[in-house]
Amino acid sequence: MESLGAKLRFVITAGVGFFADGYLNLTVGLVVPILGYLYFEDGKVSTVDSDIMKGGLSLGMVIGQLLFGVLSDVWGRHAIYGKELILPVFGTLMVVLLP
Q: Residue 95: inside a domain, yes or no?
A: no
pLDDT (0 to 100) of residue 51: 93
pLDDT digits (tens, 9 = 90+) for 34-81: 889 988 888 899 999 999 989 998 898 899 889 988 988 999 887 787
Full domain range(s) for residue 30: 4-87
Q: Residue 98: inside a domain, yes or no?
A: no
Q: Number of folded domains in the chain?
A: 1
Q: Residue 56: inside a domain, yes or no?
A: yes
How far, in Å, CA of 61 to CA of 88, rounded?
9
Mean pLDDT of 20-41: 86
pTM of the model: 0.66
pLDDT (0 to 100) of residue 52: 93
Q: What region, left, alpha or beta, does residue 55 occupy, with left being phi > 0 and alpha being psi -120 to 50 degrees?
A: alpha
Q: Residue 93: inside a domain, yes or no?
A: no
pLDDT (0 to 100) of residue 83: 79
